[in-house]
Amino acid sequence: MSIFHLMLSSVVIFFVLYAPQPLLAQFAQLYATSPANTGLLMSVTMLPLAIAPICYGLFLANYSKLKLLKVAMMLLALCSVLITLQQRFELFLLLRFIEGLILPAALTAMTSYIGQTWQGQCLRRNMTWYVGSTILGGFLGRALAANFATWWNWESFYIFNAALLILISLRIKLPPLENITTPKACSPKDYLRPLKQPSLLRLYCAVFCMFFCFSALLNYLPFILSNEYNLKDPKLIGWVYGGYLVGALLSMCAPYLTKLHNNNWVILTAVFGVYCVSISAMQWQNLGAFIVLFTLFCACMFIIHASAAPLANEISSAHASITNGAYVSFYYSGGALGSFLPGFIYQTAGIEMFLLSLLLICILGAYFTWLNYRIGSETQLGR
């Protein structure tokens, strides 16, 4: 499977995850339910993403990654069609939860396939392209779902997405027998034991902190723009979200950053430092500065993600599927907690304490990467 084909698969899979987000207000009206209940359409899908990937990682250690990816895409297409046919909000929630159980299988299969197929600088480049495709899928999934709903109806996008999933999955060619180079273990503990590697655990914790901060700021960005900057026009708020895409484009330079210094942990710690600066500088109440800082914030997050994912594969002695399953679990655990915990601080203590809480978490992430630089020369180069 080529990296381009894998990227196309990633984009349409992320359509599934983020398509309901811009339509939540419409769904609240359609099903006569509260905004909080409608928000569950995202929560019930995110929750399995924080738990299931490590389980799929164990399963993929002795199973074809491409076969699981193909099956997962077919099942996601079926769920998309069933969503257009259901008439009750409870059934919609159930189908979203089922999608949440299927999505980790697809994500873990893709990252495991990359980690097992490519090595060295090629691994870094292809993992960066994969991360870029997830960002593009998240952006286009939101944008296209909203526009399809405006032009025709919300069901039309789900049918369109289902067709894409089926067409792209049918193009996945399965090898006669996928090479499994790791000997079979006696129990899951044998596969999970290498994850105790201190440098790997610290990297996972840094990734948790990274996505915690990112998820928190993006979830409460409309409230911040409305309450702090009196920006209430949805179109203008949408332009601010353009910083997300600009930051994603800047993140494509991640593989070239490793050429600036021969120690990968130094690069990662430095980017975390800029991530911290962008958060702390948001205390300056100026809309123009906030937009620039938000773009820098997004770029730092994507660069860290694009650097940490291949680095985890390089330093881990665990099977590729276990390494990437654990990575996805830590990543989305941070996102799940960051999506609601900082909200309580924002509601009760305001923007200053909200940003301070994110800054503290971000500093903790930087500390984990700095600790990897300080401890053990064998881990410092990330290989």
- How many whole angstroms separate alpha carbon 309 and alpha carbon 131? 9
φ, ψ of residue 30 to 5 degrees: the values are -65, -45
The reported pLDDT for the residue numbered 166 is 95
Tell me which CATH homologous superfamily contains domain 192-380: MFS general substrate transporter like domains (1.20.1250.20)
Per-residue pLDDT of the chain (383 residues; tens, 9 = 90+): 788 888 999 999 999 988 887 777 778 788 887 755 776 787 788 778 777 766 766 666 667 788 889 999 999 999 999 999 988 889 999 999 999 889 988 888 888 788 778 876 787 778 778 878 888 888 888 778 878 888 888 889 999 999 999 999 998 887 765 444 444 544 556 556 667 788 889 999 999 999 899 888 877 777 787 788 887 665 566 567 677 777 777 767 666 776 676 677 888 899 999 999 999 999 888 888 888 899 899 889 988 988 888 888 888 877 777 787 788 888 888 887 887 788 788 878 888 999 999 999 999 999 999 998 887 544 445 44
The reported pLDDT for the residue numbered 357 is 94
The reported pLDDT for the residue numbered 86 is 87
Alpha-carbon separation of residue 34 from 24, 185, 189 (angstroms): 10, 49, 44
Number of Cβ atoms within 10 Å of the Cβ of 296: 20
**pTM metric for this prediction:** 0.77
Q: Which two tokens stand for residue 181?
A: 């180079």
Q: Which two tokens stand for residue 38?
A: 């409608």
DSSP 65-114: HHHHHHHHHHHHHHHHHHHHH--SHHHHHHHHHHHHHHHHHHHHHHHHHH
Alpha-carbon separation of residue 20 from 45, 47, 83, 251, 338 (angstroms): 11, 16, 11, 26, 19
Question: What are the sequence ranges of the domains in the chain?
Answer: 3-177, 192-380
What is residue 276's three-state secondary structure? Answer: helix
Q: Which CATH class is domain 3-177?
A: mainly alpha
The reply to whether domains 3-177 and 192-380 share a CATH topology is yes
Alpha-carbon separation of residue 376 from 40, 78, 379, 380 (angstroms): 44, 49, 6, 7
